[in-house]
Structure 1
Amino acid sequence: MQQPLTSDPRSHGDAEWALRPELAAEAREAAHGFLAALVPEPSAHTSQNLVLLVSELVANAIRHAGEVTSLHLRADRRSLHVVVDDPSPAPPQERAPDLTGGTGGFGWPMIQRLAEKVTVLPNAGGGKTIRAVLAR
């Protein structure tokens, strides 16, 4: 995993981290570090939602696209932004949840409920970018 790029959040309330996690656990760890660096730190509820969003987006990219090409976490005075790039051009598909635990189906609807806004954009060189925004 690459080291995050950070700005000093104490100077103006903004921060940005960029990395390329190979596992969802690495992405969660990075999200916790990112949140701890913010001043003021978001509420526990917002922090939990951000970590869950990061974990699901990264896990989905690994599962369905084979890897995460980049993860960006950014904060400004009003919002927290999660941006995940992966090599697959296929957009996420909502599907019926598998209640036996075999094939999932819970992540994408959860992402859409947790975030204020979710966008999926194709990348010029192939692949896609998924952006999720939370109120800070």
Structure 2
Amino acid sequence: MTTTRARRTAPRPPVAVAEARRAARGFLESLAQPAVGQDQADTVVLVVSELVTNAVRHGGGAYALRLTAHPHCVEVAVEDPSPRPPRMRVPDLLGGTGGFGWHMVNDLSLATAVTPGPGGGKTVRALLPR
């Protein structure tokens, strides 16, 4: 099992999300046996992007990203200080206010879980095929 951690306080959301995507790509490229295919890697990076975007947008800007490689899947865990869990919303097709991310994360993942943190906050986890 291989794990990497990144803790960030993001002054600008686009920078935080770009850093998280780069960290995820680097982590995935470092994995040997079994290697992660391009399609699976793109899916992991997309889920990282969505979860970090939500943490930065709704969690006050601070987040911790943890990536863990298991034999048959990759676990993405994003922790933020907000106790509010993600929620399904009707996507906004006209106003550009979002609503697509949590649907997408659930559709792409083998499983998702939201765990309350001991001092408030939460960790959102997604298991993705390797």
Same fold by TM-score, threshold 0.5 exceeded? yes
Q: How does 1:75-86 map to 2 (within 5 A)?
A: 75-86=69-80
CA distance, structure 2, for counterparts of residue 24 and residue 82 of structure 1: 14
Q: Which residue of 2 aligns with 1:25?
A: 18
Counterpart among 100, 117, 122 of residue 116 in structure 2: 122
Q: Call closer, same or farther: CA 1:101–1:48 in 2, change over 3 Å.
A: farther
Correspondence 1:87 to 2:74? no
CA distance, structure 1, for counterparts of residue 95 and residue 21 of structure 2: 22
Counterpart among 38, 44, 55 of residue 44 in structure 1: 38
Asked whether the equivalents of residues 81 and 133 of structure 1 are also in contact (C-alpha less than 8 Å), the reply is yes
Asked whether the equivalents of residues 55 and 63 of structure 2 are also in contact (C-alpha less than 8 Å), the reply is no
What is the TM-score of this pair, normalised by structure 1?
A: 0.86
Q: Which residue of 1 aligns with 2:13?
A: none
Correspondence 1:34 to 2:21? no
Secondary structure (helix, strand or coil) at the match of 2:99 reads: coil
CA distance, structure 1, for counterparts of residue 18 and residue 69 of structure 2: 21
List alignment gaps of at least 5 residues for structure 1.
Answer: 1-13
CA distance, structure 2, for counterparts of residue 101 and residue 113 of structure 1: 23
Please tell me the residue identity of whatever aligns with 1:31: A
Identity %: 48
- Post-superposition offset of 1:101: 4.5
Q: CA RMSD in A?
A: 1.1
User: Which structure carries more relative contact order (alpha carbon 8 Å, separation 6+)?
Assistant: 2
- Post-superposition offset of 1:68: 3.6
Asked whether the equivalents of residues 68 and 84 of structure 1 are also in contact (C-alpha less than 8 Å), the reply is no
Could you list the structure 1 runs, at least 4 aligned residues long, displaced by more than 6 angstroms after superposition.
Answer: none
